[in-house]
Amino acid sequence: MEPVRMEARTGASGGGVAVVTIANPPVNALAASVRAGLLRTLREAEDDPAVRAIVIAADGKAFIAGADISEFGKPPAPPSLPEVLQAIEQCAKPVVAALNGVALGGGMELALACHGRVVAPQGQLGLPEIKLGLIPGAGGTQRLPRILGAAPAFAMMLSGDPVDARKALSLGIADALAEGDLLGAACAHALRLADAEHPPRVRDRADRFSPEDRAAFEAAAAAALKRASGQPNVEALVASVRAALDLPFDEALAVERARFQALVEDPRSKALRHLFFAERAAGRVPGIGREVKARPIEQAAVIGAGTMGGGIAMCFAQAGIPVTLIEVKAEALDAGLARIRANYEASVKRGSLSQEEMDKRLSLIICAVGLDAAASADMVVEAAFEDMAVKAEIFSALDRVAKPGAILATNTSYLDVNAIAAMTQRPQDVVGLHFFSPANVMRLLEVVRGAATAPDVLVTSLDLGRRLGKLPVVVGVCYGFVGNRMLAKRTQAGERLLLAGALPHEVDAAVTQFGFRMGPFAMLDLAGIDIGWRARKATGGRAPVADALAEQGRFGQKTGRGFYLYPEGARAGVRDPETEALITSLSDAQGIVRRSFSAEEILARLFYPMVNEGAKILEEGIAARASDIDAVWVNGYNWPSFTGGPMFWAESVGLPKIVAALDAFAAETGDETLKPAPLLRHLAETGGVFAAGEGA
């Protein structure tokens, strides 16, 4: 099918209007074929004496989701978007956009180049380029300030968030809101404009610019630049909006375009674009097609009202799904519900939640004692104690109680989902749903596919994850799944660094400098050093420094001391001479001559073993794609998004360099697990990349 078609509109409201319709599913991205089709049909309409006005419309739910992101970085195919937009703006006949759905990025820019804009109630307009490490590159930074003023336009482009149809109308971005027949309203508007002498052009406006607006913009720009140190797109946005105020339109447009094109080549934007596609690919399971339908989930149950269970129940309530919170004892339920209520009350106090919404969510959470209360749930999520015996008891009981077809999910972080499934007569209905703490906040959801998990259970879990506002990523069964399995490698490497001569603050500084919000030791102090210590006691594992700290009752923030010291009332830890002396004494006891490490070496020692583990995870099929691993680490562990995630980052470092370093680490420590995975070595030797040969 042609991506752009043109029809003549006849009848009372539409005679003399050419309707140009974009049809490029799924979201009408402005691919080369669409740009070419738009230019061609526009010229035809302009040359046709029977046409008085033109309406640009779109098929499907979206108007236009923007430039085609997959074309970025490839050789440019003419015509460029600015060329198409210039043709629209300079068209002698009025062009009106009929905005039926989202108009984002280049899609909104196209609408701004039109002479009029009519929006349907479900329309949304926004310039989200900043989220991809870019700025609008087809006039957005020039035309939006002319409609809103520089300061409000800058704020909108800096957030990247869209406005809805009503807001667009009240701001003057849209000229009219069409409650019913959008196309009819757009045609009527276009004909009205045809009766005027010249089609109105946004570029000719300067009525919103004023000294006050300029001052407000400069203040906002200074604040944004301070916050965004090192983010080139924020700097480019400031420069482009300033150009709108200082330069003639065409010159300023050229400034914007040059800035945009430079950003497209910036590795940070490439990383963010990689993640855009990674997050969407993560929801696709190789071998499971669209024919597999999700089971309906209208009612849920969560077993365990602890921090995790309570957080999961909040996720269901937030999505409007009634949920029964189940405990063995009424006291535990009361405590759990009190925690949930306190959490909501804090949000109401902060202003991020209305009282009404809080009441609504609380009314969706029903508390019950005993597993029988799970009988009517379509989805049961077990979030009880992390102990196989406890899980075994719960799942064999659930097998008796739950209705046929109910999905039985476990929130285990480490335990064998297949063994849990084997406790039931319906292993096909069992799946892992690994939420991250705090469950109501963290976006990642590892969906653990057991050996017997049915395809529709997987599809339902992915669907549900999205309903809960999560990013679901399918992973296979192994100790720690994708995220925690790789985290264990970082933790082990951190311990080694401390014993070899680095101090906690040096390691954490290297990691936060890299872009993480927190370093590994500050993180351990926050989570509680005792958690890993107790787990290691059970499994026979060793972490000499963390264990020594825990044995002294230094559990981290909760005891006021751990890797750092937390003086009364302090939120951030400070260096603790006692901890540092303890670390040095442990090195001495092992006969290690301590030495210093550069930030670069610290990162290599922490992250290369993780990348290696990621390669093993791929080899074993625990993750279907390297990009799934990146999606896990960015959304669950705060890996800095502008580096694209560990596997994308590894490729930017160079796989041969990583392989050589891992060989050296393995030789130095005698730890065979640090030897490069065969896949990693193969890719390094052949110049390959992780993405090659992956499932779609």
Q: Which residues are known to be catalytic?
A: 109, 129
What is the β-pairing status of strands 102-104 and 124-126?
parallel
What is the C-alpha to C-alpha distance for residues 557 and 414, in angstroms, rounded to an integer? 24
CB of 136 to ligand 3HC, least distance (A): 4
Token reading at 589: 């006891």
Cβ nearer to ligand 3HC, comparing 65 with 169? 65
Contact 256, 128 (CB under 8 A): no
Q: Which helix (H) or strand (E) holds 43?
A: helix 32-47
Cβ nearer to ligand 3HC, comparing 66 with 636? 66
Cβ nearer to ligand 3HC, comparing 53 with 65? 65
What is the C-alpha to C-alpha distance for residues 557 and 528, in angstroms, rounded to an integer? 7
Alpha helix stretches (DSSP H) within 91-210:
106-113, 140-148, 150-159, 165-171, 182-195
Q: What is the maximum alpha-carbon separation in the chain?
A: 92
Cβ nearer to ligand 3HC, comparing 240 with 484? 240
Q: How many residues does the chain have?
A: 696
The Cβ of residue 297 has, within 10 Å, a number of other Cβ atoms equal to: 19
Cβ nearer to ligand 3HC, comparing 269 with 557? 269
CB of 465 to ligand 3HC, least distance (A): 13
Cβ nearer to ligand 3HC, comparing 65 with 624? 65
Contact 147, 91 (CB under 8 A): no
Q: Is the peptide bond before 26 cis (omega within 30 degrees of 0)?
A: yes
User: Is residue 502 classed as helix, strand or coil in its secondary structure?
Assistant: coil
CB of 66 to ligand 3HC, least distance (A): 3
* Residue 583 identity: I
CB of 279 to ligand 3HC, least distance (A): 8
CB of 163 to ligand 3HC, least distance (A): 14
Sequential DSSP letters for 611-664: HHHHHHHHHTTSSS-HHHHHHHHHHHS---GGGT-HHHHHHHH-HHHHHHHHHH
Cβ nearer to ligand 3HC, comparing 128 with 562? 128
What is the C-alpha to C-alpha distance for residues 235 and 232, in angstroms, rounded to an integer? 5
What is the C-alpha to C-alpha distance for residues 173 and 108, in angstroms, rounded to an integer? 10
User: Is residue 124 classed as helix, strand or coil in its secondary structure?
Assistant: strand
What is the C-alpha to C-alpha distance for residues 154 and 223, in angstroms, rounded to an integer? 12
CB-count burial class (<10 Å; 0-12, 13-18, 19+) for 680: buried
User: What 8-state DSSP symbol labels residue 120?
Assistant: -
Cβ nearer to ligand 3HC, comparing 69 with 531? 69
User: Is residue 377 classed as helix, strand or coil in its secondary structure?
Assistant: coil
CB of 37 to ligand 3HC, least distance (A): 16
Token reading at 8: 């003549």
Cβ nearer to ligand 3HC, comparing 105 with 573? 105
The Cβ of residue 576 has, within 10 Å, a number of other Cβ atoms equal to: 19
Q: Which helix (H) or strand (E) holds 523?
A: helix 520-527
Q: Minimal CA–CA distance to 625: which of 474, 520, 488?
A: 474
Sequential DSSP letters for 398-466: HHHHSPTT-EEEE--SSS-HHHHHTTSS-GGGEEEEEE-SSTTT--EEEEEE-SS--HHHHHHHHHHHH
How remote is the C-alpha of 671 from its chain's centroid? 35
What is the β-pairing status of strands 17-22 and 4-9?
antiparallel
Cβ nearer to ligand 3HC, comparing 26 with 180? 26
Token reading at 266: 């910036």
Comparing every residue's Cβ against ligand 3HC, the nearest one is 105
Q: Is the peptide bond before 296 cis (omega within 30 degrees of 0)?
A: no
Contacting positions for ligand 3HC (CB under 6 A): 26-27, 29, 62, 65-70, 81, 102, 104-106, 109, 128-129, 132, 136-138, 140, 277, 280
For CA atoms 311, 315, 318, 322, the dihedral sign is negative
Contact 57, 98 (CB under 8 A): yes
Cβ nearer to ligand 3HC, comparing 68 with 378? 68
What is the C-alpha to C-alpha distance for residues 249 and 251, in angstroms, rounded to an integer? 6
Tell me how many helices (H) and strands (E) the chain has: 28, 19
Cβ nearer to ligand 3HC, comparing 465 with 573? 465
Cβ nearer to ligand 3HC, comparing 148 with 510? 148
Contact 521, 504 (CB under 8 A): yes
* Residue 440 identity: N
